[in-house]
Each structure stands twice: as C-alpha cells, then as structure tokens.
Amino acid sequence: MSAPLGRRVAAEAIGTALLVVMVVGSGIQATELTRDIGVQLLANSLATVFGLGVLIALLGPISGAHFNPAVTLAAWFTSRRAPGGLALRDVAAYVPAQITGAIGGVVLADAMFAKPLVKFSTHDRSAGHLWLSEVVATAGLILLIFGLTRVGRAALAPAAVASYIGAAYWFTSSTSFANPAVTIGRAFTNTFAGIAPASVAPFIAAQLLGTVLGLGVVAAVYGPSPAPAGRALVAQGEPELASS
C-alpha cells in the first residue's frame, strides 16, 4: 500500500460513511415519496449502485475501497504471506474505521431528513432464508472482487462491484447487506433500511461464512494465487478495490 496508514484509514471511514448515507438516505427519501415497496427498493438500489461505483473509483487508489470488514479480512488472508500485502495492523485499523464510519453515516442520513439521530431499528430480519441470502450475497461479492484480480480485470471493479450489489438487492431476500460494518450501522436507524439489533449477529455470522465460501470458490476456480493477492485492484498496481 503506497498511501500512509492514516490516510488509508480516513478513506475507509469516509467511504463507508458515505456508502451508508446513500443506502439509508435513499431509503428514507423513497418511503417519503411513494408507498409502493417495489419502487422504494428500486430507488434505494439505484442510489446505492451509482454512489458505490463513484466511491470505489474515487477512494480505491488510496485504501483499496474495501468499506467492508469481510473484504478487508479476505484481503489480509490472501496476502498475509506476500511482501507488501495487507498486514494485521492494517486490519486492526480498517475494521474499526469502517464500523465507526457506518454508524456516522446513519446519523448523518437521519439528520438530513430530520429523523431521530439514533433510534434502534425495530425491523426484525431473523429468518433462515435471509441468512442464506447473506451467505450467497457475500460469497458472490468475494468471488467477484478477487476473481477480477486473478484474471487481470481489476480496473473494472468500480462498475462490476456496484453492478453486482445492485443485482443482489433484487436476487436475494435479504436485499444483500453483505457487509458487517453496514449491518451494524443500519441497526441505528428505525427507517426503511434498518435492521433490528437482535438480527445483527446472525447476519454478520452469515456474511463471514460467505466470505470463507467465496475464498474457497476463488481457490477452486482459479487455483493457488500466483502473485501477492492483497494488492488486487484498480489499475497500475494500486491496492485492491471492493466493497458493498
């Protein structure tokens, strides 16, 4: 990683915060404009797709644009023995920054729509089919990010990752959180995008399982990594991109 750790951590915190602002803010806006749940989800997913693509393109060259502890952990695991790979100290700095950014993003989104700044969600999401959806969504995200790197197409990450997240909104029953930090953050808002605190832990467990399965699929499809995997990304040797 070429940028100093402090700048990379700032990029992760700010990027995750802005991602959550887009998810939560567009959800609030959609529910205030229409009562049609399908239209609400469409508006929410479109805002997330466009915003996420911009954030990855903008911040990817600095931190890799993980915005997601699952991606950070996968990047560390795949590059832990490679020179210049993501180190444990990076993980220890990235993950708290992502979680803090996610909570800050929720507070900012609620403030912009004159909602209570912090009000825990009552939206229960405790069901087996939702957990399965999170496993599938997260595994697919990991496969996409690290698969792009393995085939030399990391420059496509901003469009590809954003497109995948947009699609996963619709093909999963959970609407594809696929991100432990965002899951935690969304517990702090009792709006369209919220998740009840009691539902958070099972979602995160499912996401971590999906991360492991995603890495397993990468290994099965592409074989052992021939190069340092922790630098997967944008273009011209910048750190690995990703997110959700």
pLDDT digits 0-9 by tens, 127-166: 999 999 999 999 999 999 999 999 999 999 999 999 999 9
Retrieve residue 167's tokens.
């699609």
Domain ranges of the chain: 5-231
| Contacts of 87 by beta carbon, 8 Å cutoff, 6+ apart | 76
**Three-state DSSP state, 240:** strand
pLDDT digits (tens, 9 = 90+) for 110-122: 999 999 999 999 9
Residue type, 176: S
Burial class (CB in 10 A: 0-12, 13-18, 19+), 36: exposed
Predicted confidence (pLDDT) at residue 244 exceeds the cutoff of 70: no
CB 181 within 8 A of CB 153: no
Backbone torsions φ then ψ of 240, nearest 5 degrees:
-75, 140
Predicted confidence (pLDDT) at residue 52 exceeds the cutoff of 80: yes
Residue 177 CB coordination number (10 Å)? 28
- Location of structure tokens 């959180």: 177
CB 119 within 8 A of CB 187: no
**Band (81; pLDDT cuts 50, 70, 90):** confident
What is the CATH number assigned to the segment(s) 5-231? Answer: 1.20.1080.10
pLDDT digits (tens, 9 = 90+) for 25-38: 999 999 999 999 99
pLDDT at 1: 52
* Percent of the chain residues topping a pLDDT of 70: 92
Q: Is the pTM of the predicted complex or chain greater than 0.75?
A: yes
pLDDT at 175: 96
pLDDT at 82: 80
pLDDT at 84: 78
Predicted confidence (pLDDT) at residue 100 exceeds the cutoff of 80: yes
